[in-house]
Amino acid sequence: MTIINITKWAAPFLALNLFVFSIYFLDKQAARDGRWRISERTLLTLALIGGSLGAVAAQQLLRHKTRKEPFRSILAAILILHGALAAVLIFAPGWRIFLLQDF
């Protein structure tokens, strides 16, 4: 992968994860203030579509939903899935053709 291709993927990935972190932050603030909350399904969906690092960072830094099961286990599974996908992209170049086709 060239620097341009890495940037093409890194910038949206970073933006998505910052967005997910901010959503978790808003939910934590709502929990503290007793306001309307963001559903766990929405939080996990945001993690699944690519924001798992932002979600886990928010969970740890904000101490948000660290003891809530099955939320915690599902988020960990999503992070493992994303790690496996990243490993395939890095270490199995033949699969890149199938996974990174231009839409």
Q: At 79, is the secondary structure helix, strand, or coil?
A: helix
Q: Quick one: average pLDDT of 27-55?
A: 97
Show the DSSP H helices in 1-103 as ranges. Answer: 3-33, 40-46, 52-62, 71-91, 93-99
Q: What is the pLDDT of residue 10?
A: 87
pLDDT of 97 above 90: no
pLDDT of 30 above 50: yes
- Contacts made by residues 69-75, CB under 8 angstroms, sequence distance 24+: 71/40, 71/43, 71/44, 74/44, 75/44, 75/47
Q: Quick one: average pLDDT of 16-31?
A: 97
Q: What is the pLDDT of residue 86?
A: 86
